[in-house]
């Protein structure tokens, strides 16, 4: 198969691997796993990593509580494949709370996950969305919380958007698509629409249908008077805000975002409170008059990035990023600054829940060295009344390590920071794993992950760089790593790697690179551009074919970061770094490519084609492809499957960087 891009003929010899249902693709996957599985399972450190991961993933986890009606709810997991949702009459009673939904009961093998859940205001109904086998497709179910009996509700072909309850608590909105005509795991998504489902009548009503196919919409905050809708067309930056008063039939556009993002966080009277980068690269909080469209500023742009905000009954809780680490500050409803929460340094906010009818807020924290804490916070406007940590369950996971910051100068002279997490007492060059992403305005901040902890426990150093394209330093930092500027993300990574080597933190023979999704693209590009820097490279569920990513499922939405390959100018710069199209007959380091056969976000064809081309053209290696069955992009993966996948990846990285079980 030959395509024509940017004045060039581009041969695509493995196009046949894009069909996930063909016998040829099935045979290819079986043959790849027949080679990779024995090699991975025979790695010296694999059993040790599997045992360590089993302990880490069996440690109890507790989600951030949230209140509805007279109850408080939270997700709990004590080492099962999936969590359970519990309720109690107060946050301190959740440890002995009543289970209202056990996700483990939805499947025997743990491959069904709850990807979204929403409880109505009086806590009488729960709507939850189930994803099967790692797919992004969801089916919505409803439970009566007074009897804990499931209702005869099954709404299929939904994605991403959670059910959102409307005032009155007997109807919720959802975004759904027509049943696909072709392959639901690979075909470009059809046009969707917003519906309201009446639980009592068991009927759905169309609320809004987009004017173009490639439109995504999100039902924002609602009160008794106002309904708010956020819409985004195609993969471009910026979104519009639409509102409808209860006395009106039609939606009206109150904000035309252009190239600015507007995220509604609440309605107060006839004003919409929104988080925006309009005239503020580091974001600000604005009140929009829903009758006139007039705007007034509540929280101005500052030195720190305003990452999120929540309304309380009397004030605003604002979450800021400072050097890729979080702080939380209180404000009055008029934007007057108040107290800061004493949550400690070097942390991330793992969750924040609060409602505009209460002055109680629940906050969760995490860091690289411990899973974190949960706090009950009471406020009065901008004043902190109470900030108490909830008891941690016995056995909460921790790792003995020290976190530092490294600052390097990138190719364009900009400073790029990175987190360096080293075992306590570590010195001298050590096997080091870089975990990178650099895209889609997503910040990489301190976070406890089992895969991180297991590597550090074994004696390795972990490095998490804050590359351009991420959201650590605001909209401009993100923009600097998008479209024709994407190469800068890779250059930032190389600057970090070279500095680690020159500073004696590690050597090229001890340095591994791992990334997932857009981070898989990062790993693939780094493999083909700078193979001499790495002892091992591990692209996971990566975007690796930059000329055809927009042809599958939701790939068209990524043109916001990558550009549209159908444009010759865009295709020209994409060809400059597309991992699939830059494999040459040169020496490449050992590479482990991982994907899931049910990944309908970054379809597995990316990994299949990249592995086939690398095995055909590349020298060195080995080049392994490991395909997980009944698995998708990663969200909701059962605990047992996580142990197996992470053990493969860490054992592979350890083997090729010289990290032995005895070293840790």
Q: Would the pLDDT of 664 be above 60?
A: no
Q: Would the pLDDT of 360 be above 80?
A: yes
Q: What percent of the chain has pLDDT over 70?
A: 98
Closest alpha carbon to 539 in 632, 611, 445, 616? 611
Q: What percent of the chain has pLDDT over 90?
A: 83
Instruction: Sort strands 252-256 and 240-245 into parallel, antiparallel or unpaired.
Output: antiparallel
Q: Would the pLDDT of 603 be above 50?
A: yes
Q: Would the pLDDT of 214 be above 80?
A: no
Q: What's residue 633's pLDDT? A: 67
Choosing from 71, 633, 655, 656, which is the catalytic residue?
Answer: 633
Q: Would the pLDDT of 576 be above 90?
A: yes
Closest alpha carbon to 32 in 534, 650, 591? 591
Is residue 612 within a helix (H) or strand (E), and if so which, with residue range? Answer: helix 605-617
Two structure tokens written together for 411: 């190719």
Segment 160-182 shows an average pLDDT of 90
Residue 201 dihedral angles phi and psi, to the nearest 5°: -85, -15
Any idea which residue has 């450190």 for tokens? 45
CB 422, CB 368: distance < 8 Å? no
Tell the CATH topology of 2-54+397-657.
Rossmann fold (3.40.50)
**Per-residue pLDDT tens digits for 290-303:** 999 999 999 999 99
Q: Would the pLDDT of 419 be above 80?
A: yes
CB 244, CB 226: distance < 8 Å? yes
- Separation between Cα atoms, residue 23 and residue 16, nearest integer Å: 10
Q: What's residue 108's pLDDT? A: 92
Domain spans of the chain?
2-54+397-657
CB 167, CB 224: distance < 8 Å? yes
- Separation between Cα atoms, residue 622 and residue 38, nearest integer Å: 13
**Per-residue pLDDT tens digits for 34-76:** 999 999 999 999 999 999 999 999 999 999 999 999 999 999 9
Q: Is the N-terminal amide bond of 622 cis, ω within 30° of 0?
A: yes
Q: Which residues pair with 377 in a beta bridge?
A: 361, 387
Confidence of residue 632 (pLDDT cuts 50, 70, 90): low
Q: For the chain, what's the residue count?
A: 664
Is residue 72 within a helix (H) or strand (E), and if so which, with residue range? Answer: strand 71-77
Sign of CA dihedral 434, 363, 637, 131: negative
Q: Would the pLDDT of 662 be above 80?
A: no
Closest alpha carbon to 81 in 646, 639, 631? 639
- Separation between Cα atoms, residue 197 and residue 174, nearest integer Å: 8
Helix-helix angle 23-41:639-657, to 10 degrees: 60
Q: What's residue 211's pLDDT? A: 77
Q: Would the pLDDT of 663 be above 60?
A: no
**Per-residue pLDDT tens digits for 74-130:** 999 999 999 999 999 999 999 999 999 999 999 999 989 999 999 999 999 999 999
517 part of the active site: yes
- Separation between Cα atoms, residue 66 and residue 69, nearest integer Å: 10
**Per-residue pLDDT tens digits for 322-339:** 999 999 999 999 999 999
Choosing from 135, 348, 350, 517, which is the catalytic residue?
Answer: 517
Is residue 63 within a helix (H) or strand (E), and if so which, with residue range? Answer: none
pTM (2 d.p.): 0.96
Segment 466-485 shows an average pLDDT of 98
In Å, how far are 69, 172, 519 from 147, measured between CA atoms? 16, 20, 45
């Amino acid at each position: 198969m030959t395509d024509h891009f940017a004045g060039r003929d581009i041969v695509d010899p493995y196009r046949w691997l894009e069909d996930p249902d063909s016998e040829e693709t099935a045979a290819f996957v079986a043959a790849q796993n027949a080679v990779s599985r024995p090699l991975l399972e025979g790695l010296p450190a694999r059993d040790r990593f599997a045992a360590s991961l089993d302990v880490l993933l069996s440690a109890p986890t507790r989600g951030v509580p949230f209140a509805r009606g007279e109850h408080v709810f939270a997700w709990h997991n004590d080492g099962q494949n999936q969590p359970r949702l519990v309720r109690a009459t107060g946050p301190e009673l959740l440890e002995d709370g009543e289970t209202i939904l056990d996700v483990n009961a939805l499947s025997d093998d743990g491959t069904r996950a709850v990807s979204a859940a929403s409880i109505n205001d009086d806590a009488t109904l729960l709507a939850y969305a189930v994803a099967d086998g790692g797919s992004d497709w969801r089916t919505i179910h409803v439970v009566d919380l007074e009897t804990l009996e499931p209702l005869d509700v099954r709404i299929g072909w939904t994605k991403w958007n959670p059910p959102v309850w409307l005032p009155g608590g007997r109807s919720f909105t959802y975004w759904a698509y027509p049943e696909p005509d072709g392959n639901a795991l690979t075909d470009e998504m059809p046009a969707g629409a917003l519906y309201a489902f009446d639980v009592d009548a068991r009927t759905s009503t169309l609320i809004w249908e987009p004017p173009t196919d490639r439109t995504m919409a999100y039902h924002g905050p609602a009160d008794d008077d106002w309904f708010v809708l956020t819409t985004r067309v195609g993969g471009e930056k910026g979104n519009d805000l639409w509102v409808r008063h209860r006395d009106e039939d039609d939606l009206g556009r109150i904000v035309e975002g252009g190239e600015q993002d507007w995220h509604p966080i609440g309605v107060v009277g006839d004003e919409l409170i929104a988080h925006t980068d309009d005239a503020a690269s580091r974001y600000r909080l604005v009140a929009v008059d829903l009758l006139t469209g007039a705007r007034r500023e509540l929280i101005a742009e500052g030195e720190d990035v305003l990452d999120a905000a929540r309304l309380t009954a009397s004030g605003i809780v604002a979450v800021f990023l400072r050097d890729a680490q979080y702080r939380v500050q209180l404000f009055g409803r008029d934007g007057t600054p108040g107290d800061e929460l004493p949550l400690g340094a070097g942390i991330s906010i793992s969750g924040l829940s609060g409602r505009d009818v209460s002055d109680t807020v629940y906050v969760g924290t995490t860091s690289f060295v411990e899973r974190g804490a949960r706090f009950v916070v009471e406020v009065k406007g901008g004043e902190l009344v109470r900030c108490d940590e909830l008891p941690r369950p016995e056995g909460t996971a921790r790792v003995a390590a020290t976190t530092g910051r490294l600052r390097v100068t990138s190719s364009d002279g900009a400073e790029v920071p990175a987190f360096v997490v080293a075992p306590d007492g570590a010195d001298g060059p050590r096997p080091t794993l870089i975990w990178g992403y650099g895209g889609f305005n997503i910040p990489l901040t301190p976070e406890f992950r089992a895969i991180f902890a297991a590597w550090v426990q074994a004696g390795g150093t972990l490095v998490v760089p804050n590359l351009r394209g991420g959201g650590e330093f605001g909209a401009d930092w993100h923009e600097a790593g998008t479209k024709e500027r994407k190469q800068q993300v890779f250059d930032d990574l190389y600057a970090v790697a070279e500095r680690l080597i020159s500073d004696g933190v590690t050597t090229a023979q001890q340095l591994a690179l791992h990334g997932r999704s857009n981070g898989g693209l990062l790993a693939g590009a780094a493999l083909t551009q700078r193979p001499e820097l790495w002892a091992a490279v591990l692209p996971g569920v990566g975007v690796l074919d930059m000329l055809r990513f927009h042809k599958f499922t939701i790939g068209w939405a990524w043109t916001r970061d990558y550009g549209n390959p159908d444009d010759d100018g865009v295709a020209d710069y994409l060809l400059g770094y597309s991992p699939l199209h830059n494999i040459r007959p040169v020496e490449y380091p050992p590479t482990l490519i991982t994907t899931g056969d049910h990944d309908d976000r970054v379809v597995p064809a990316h990994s299949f084609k990249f592995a086939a081309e690398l095995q055909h053209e590349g020298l060195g290696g080995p080049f392994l492809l490991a395909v997980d069955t009944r698995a998708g992009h990663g969200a909701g993966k059962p605990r047992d499957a996580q142990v197996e996948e992470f053990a493969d990846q860490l054992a592979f990285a350890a083997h090729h960087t010289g990290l032995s079980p005895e070293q840790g």
